Amino acid sequence: MAPSGPAHTFDEDLAAVRVLIESTGGFPHVNWAGGTVVAGGRKLIVVTTDRGRGWMPAGTILPANVELPWLHPASSRWEGLFDPARVIVEYAAAVGGALTALASTQFSAPRGAGNVPFVPVIDPSAHPHPELLGTVPLLRGDTATRSTLQVDPDLLAKMRAVANEESKQRERAIGCTYRAVEHADSISGGAVTHAGTCRRILDQINAHPEHNPRRIDHQLHPLWDQLEAEHSTLLDRERAARADVRGIPVGNLDTAGAPEYRAQLAHTYAAEAVLGLRSSDAATALENAVYYMDALGRYLHDERQKAV
């Protein structure tokens, strides 16, 4: 006989969030956490990563109805944390919801999870596996890309408008990447240490009207190598800037937007925006550029709002 009652609900929820996290990619560069939260008579599938405000790697496919905790008005209080599962615990408390299951690529449950069923995903993948989503009832249905979930709809419409025009896609990818680097420079107070490398690459790419990615990639090989090395260092600094908040009770946490972490993150995002131009696929290069430009633009908007 199948189990019934709350235990059965917890098992279903735990299976859903475990499969959700197993379906994601990006490891070891990013850690994921997913949880089920019952709030307002609805069951929410909440998901985030440990980078920024839920950064997702390219190629991410998630259920279209997932809940992103970063849309909550109090979410700046949870930025810059080492453990993404703690963000979901804070979100559940902020919405007055009941957390019923939690999964993470970290190995232990965060403070405040209490007796909520928790499972560590001990073998996360570098590549997304969206086909897994259909194996669990709670995750079946429409899916969405990272851009659909996180990018301004007006920008998505502009991307779609040039879907069949490779030259325009390349041109706009370069323009958006320039803007991303400018945003990062502003967020970090002009202290983007690798901005010179980024701009040299952008200027040399822009000097070729045909924007042939293979030829440009060969010509810029030394600069690409330099930026790759800088990016590796930036990733280490970004991780080091994250906060371990295990000693702070749930509901009392407030990182105030984690300004030092944001500055480090802006450095890394700018490098990743430029590195995305190496893609041989124009649509992929444009999606990457728009994704980072939009993410950094939102940070910049927040910074300016605070200054008013």
- 208 and 72, same domain (yes or no): no
Phi, psi (deg, nearest 5) at residue 99: -80, 120
Burial 225-261 (b: 16+ CB within 10 A, else e): ebbeebbeebbeebbebbbebeeeebeebebebbbeb
274 in any annotated domain: yes
At residue 15, what is the residue type? A
- 26 and 125, same domain (yes or no): yes
Domain boundary among 94, 112, 146: 146
Domain boundary among 130, 146, 162: 146
- 46 and 179, same domain (yes or no): no
Domain boundary among 82, 114, 146: 146
Which of 154, 284, 262, 153 lies closest to 213, judged by CA? Answer: 284
pLDDT at 22 over 70: yes
What does the pLDDT read at residue 307?
56
107 in any annotated domain: yes
1 in any annotated domain: no
pLDDT tens per residue across span 242-294: 999 999 999 999 999 999 999 999 999 999 999 999 998 999 999 999 999 99
CA–CA dist 276, 57 (Å, integer): 12
- The phi-psi region of residue 189 (left if phi > 0; otherwise alpha if psi is between -120 and 50; otherwise beta) is left
- 156 and 283, same domain (yes or no): yes
Residue 117 or residue 219, greater confidence:
117
Mapped to the 3 state alphabet, what secondary structure does 26-77 carry?
CCCCCCEEEEEEEECCEEEEEEEECCCCCCCCCCCEEECCCECHHHCCCHHH
Is the Cβ–Cβ distance between 39 and 95 less than 8 Å? Answer: yes
CA–CA dist 100, 285 (Å, integer): 39
- 48 and 131, same domain (yes or no): yes
pLDDT at 5 over 50: no
- 105 and 141, same domain (yes or no): yes
CA–CA dist 84, 35 (Å, integer): 11
What does the pLDDT read at residue 195?
78
Q: Which of 208-212, 220-224, 292-296 has the lowest mean pLDDT?
A: 208-212
67 in any annotated domain: yes
At residue 202, what is the residue type? L
- 28 and 102, same domain (yes or no): yes
Could you count the other beta carbons within 10 Å of the beta carbon of residue 162?
Answer: 17
- 25 and 100, same domain (yes or no): yes
- 124 and 188, same domain (yes or no): no
Number of domains comprising the chain = 2
- 180 and 274, same domain (yes or no): yes
- 156 and 297, same domain (yes or no): yes
Burial 138-151 (b: 16+ CB within 10 A, else e): bbeeebebbbebbb
Q: For residues 56-77, give the mean pLDDT.
A: 97
51 half-sphere exposure, CB direction, 13 A CA radius: 24
Q: Provide the domain limits for residue 78.
A: 6-146
- For residue 51, what are the contacts with CB-CB under 8 A and spacing of at least 6? 30, 238, 265
pLDDT tens per residue across span 81-127: 999 999 999 999 999 999 999 999 998 899 889 999 999 997 888 99
The DSSP letter of residue 243 is: B
pLDDT tens per residue across span 228-244: 999 999 999 999 999 99
Q: Determine if the pTM surpasses 0.95.
A: no
Is the Cβ–Cβ distance between 69 and 54 less than 8 Å? Answer: yes
198 in any annotated domain: yes
Which of 210, 155, 175, 145 lies closest to 285, judged by CA? Answer: 175
- 27 and 171, same domain (yes or no): no
Is the Cβ–Cβ distance between 296 and 176 less than 8 Å? Answer: no
**Six-digit token string for 244:** 């371990």
pLDDT at 3 over 50: no
**Six-digit token string for 222:** 């030394």
